[in-house]
Each structure stands twice: as structure tokens, then as C-alpha cells.
Amino acid sequence: MEYFPSKIAPFTLKLLNLLFVSDRKLCFPAGSPACYLLPMPNATRIKKSTVRAEPNQSPASTFNEAYYKRFYLDRETRVRASQDHKRLADFVFGYVDHLQVPIRRVLDIGCGLGHWKKEVARKYPKAIYTGVEFSPYLCRKFGWKNGSAADFKGQGQYDLVLCQSVIQYLPDSQARKAIANLARLCRGATYLEIITRMDWDEHCNQDVTDGNVFLRPGKWYRTLLDRKFRNAGGGLFLPKSSGAVLYELEGPDPNR
Ligand SMILES: C[S@@+](CC[C@H](N)C(=O)[O-])C[C@H]1O[C@@H](n2cnc3c(N)ncnc32)[C@H](O)[C@@H]1O
């Protein structure tokens, strides 16, 4: 179905892609006129799955300047825009506030370009933020602590542990260790975003999301997470030791 004359369509769609590109399938703000008028533009069309069971490059060589340019800085190819960071941060901080978890120390593992650092400073100006990175390039550039999610020791425990879009880059044994390590480091709440096989097939915009990762079933993660955390929904996990109160329907069905 074509809504645009074919000559102006490519230009218009490219412009819309620049404005609304996102790693999630829904690329138009819900309720916006574009949402009703347009079919999914070519630039954000979901391709047939091109899943790779394992990454084809070693992670150390992957996380270089070109990687961050492609996925974070170039407006045409980036996976998220700054308004996406703010919207997510508002949600996470709002939920953590609702659960009455006080935030003084924040650990951001696999912090990338440091998008969370800015959001943490905005919401919790007195909190101490620690960014940890596996990429030597980023550690040199931003001064992050060099380490891996699998065995970063840290200094004591942290009220909020952030680990966004990192664990899917780790092979199974490292991913297992990382989840246990996050639980060890966290005393308040952990925000976790991990792309699963189903996400790649059904939820991601494959044109902008990095598919060079380990795609595992959600159940694989749930089994590991359930040992150490209570799932609060929305990507938030509370360590078993946390006294935060979750109403029965705020978490997942324990019998599922
Ligand atoms: C998709 S980026 C996400 C960056 C950031 N968390 C964000 O959401 O903006 C993945 C990051 O994870 C880092 N990373 C990969 N393996 C890691 C590991 N084992 N431990 C810590 N960070 C890792 C990479 O260097 C890269 O910067």
C-alpha cells in the first residue's frame, strides 16, 4: 500500500527515519499522525530474521570507535536517540523511587558512552556514579574503570546497578557469572536490558540493532535471575536480600 507519490516517498521516509529511529519496532510516537498514516517505512522495516547463533567477531575488537559511531553517534544508523535515554531513565528512577530504594551509589556496567551518567546526575546530583567498561577504547576516552560484568569486583555494594544491553555480548559461561556478579554488587535494585532470541525475532528493529550477539531464550535468563533476584517487572530486579515491598501483581506470576 502506497500513501506517498513514489518520488517524494524515499526522501520523506528517510527524514522520518532520522526523526524516529529506535531500536524498538514502534518507531512513531503512539498516537502521532504518522502512526496512522504511514505503513512501516522501508528504513525501519523489520527484516526476516538473520539471527547468528554466536557473534562472528571477538568482543575486544568489536568495541572500537567505529562501533560507537555506528550504533550511538551517527544519526542515520544509531540505535537510540537522546530522548529514548531520558524516557527510560525517568521510568527506572520513578519505579525505584516508588519502591523506596534510596540511591547514593550507582554502578553502570558496560556503560558505553555514559548515557546513564548524565541522567543519574540530573536525578540524583549527590549520588556517586561509577562507569565500568570492557572496551579499552572507551576507558581511555572517558576514564571508565576497565572491567568485565563477569568479574568486576567493585567497592562494596551499590544501590542501583545498571546493565543495559551488555549481557547478550557474553558467551554462556561469562553471562552466568555476570548475573551472579550483578546480584553480589547490588543492594537496592538492578536495571537489566538483555536482548533475547524472541526480542530479536519479534521486537527489535533489526536495521539498527546489533545482531552480532548471543541470542538466548528468555527462559535461560529467567532461571538464572530467579536464583538471585525478585523480578519487579519493567527490567528491574531486586536482590533477594532487599526489603522492598512488591505487591503480588507487580511482579511476574510465580507459577508461570
Ligand atoms: C550495546 S553497548 C551498551 C552501552 C550502554 N550500556 C548503553 O546502553 O548505552 C554494549 C557495551 O557493553 C560493553 N561490554 C561488552 N562486554 C562487556 C563485559 N563483559 N563487561 C562490561 N562491558 C561489556 C561494550 O564495550 C559496549 O560498550
Task: Give distance in angstroms: CA of 77 to centre of ligand 1.
Answer: 18
Q: pLDDT tens for residues 188-209?
A: 999 999 999 999 999 999 999 9
| Each residue's pLDDT tens digit, 76-132 | 888 887 788 999 999 999 999 999 999 999 999 999 999 999 999 999 999 999 999
Binding site membership of 216 for ligand 1 (Cβ less than 6 Å): no
Atom of ligand 1 nearest to the CA of 193: 8
Q: Which residues are within 8 A (CB) of 191 and not within 5 positions of it... i.e. 6 or more apart?
A: 92, 160, 161, 162, 163, 164, 235, 236, 237
**Dist. CA 79–CA 254, nearest whole Å:** 33
Question: Is residue 112 within 6 Å of ligand 1 at its C-beta?
Answer: yes
Alpha helices, DSSP H, located in 144-245: 172-185, 197-198, 218-228
Rounded (5°) CA angle 133-19-14? 110
pLDDT tens digit sequence for 154-181 = 999 999 999 999 999 999 999 999 999 9
Pocket test for ligand 1, best of 65, 166, 185 (most atoms within 8 A of CB): 166
SS3 103: coil
Looking at domain 59-250, does it have CATH number 3.40.50.150?
Answer: yes
Quote the pLDDT of residue 76: 85
Instruction: Indicate if ligand 1 lies below 6 Å from the C-beta of 63.
Output: yes
Cα separation, 15 vs 77, in Å, equals 13
Index of the ligand 1 atom closest to the CA of residue 148: 20
36: its cell numbers: 496512522
Regarding the beta carbon of 225 and ligand 1, being less than 6 Å apart is answered no
Please give the pLDDT value at position 42. Answer: 30
Query: Which residues pair with residue 128 across a beta bridge?
Result: 105
Residue 39 and residue 119: Cα distance in Å, rounded?
Answer: 34
Cell of 105: 551509589
Protein residue with least CA distance to atom 13, ligand 1? 110
Query: Measuring from atom 27 of ligand 1, which residue has the nearest CA?
Result: 112
Contact 51, 199 (CB under 8 A): no
Q: Is the pTM value of this prediction over 0.85?
A: no
Phi-psi region of 100 (alpha: psi -120 to 50; beta: other; left: phi over 0): left
Top mutation candidate among 92, 134, 141, 168 for ligand 1, by most atoms within 8 Å of CB: 134
Per-residue pLDDT, 121: 98
Number of H-type helices and E-type strands within the chain: 10, 7
C-alpha grid cell for residue 124? 540524583
Query: What is the whole-number distance in angstroms between the Cα of residue 110 and the centre of ligand 1?
Result: 4
Domain boundaries, the chain: 9-44, 59-250
Ligand 1 centroid from CA 112, angstroms: 5
Q: Compare 78 and 31 and report the one with higher pLDDT.
A: 78
Task: Report how far apart, in Å, the C-alpha atoms of 188 and of each of 66, 96, 168 are.
Answer: 35, 9, 23
Residues 98 and 233: their CA atoms lie apart, in Å, by: 13
- Report the pLDDT averaged over residues 45-62: 49
pLDDT, the chain, mean: 82
Q: 104 C-alpha vs ligand 1 centroid, how far in Å?
A: 23
149 lines ligand 1 (CB under 6 A): yes
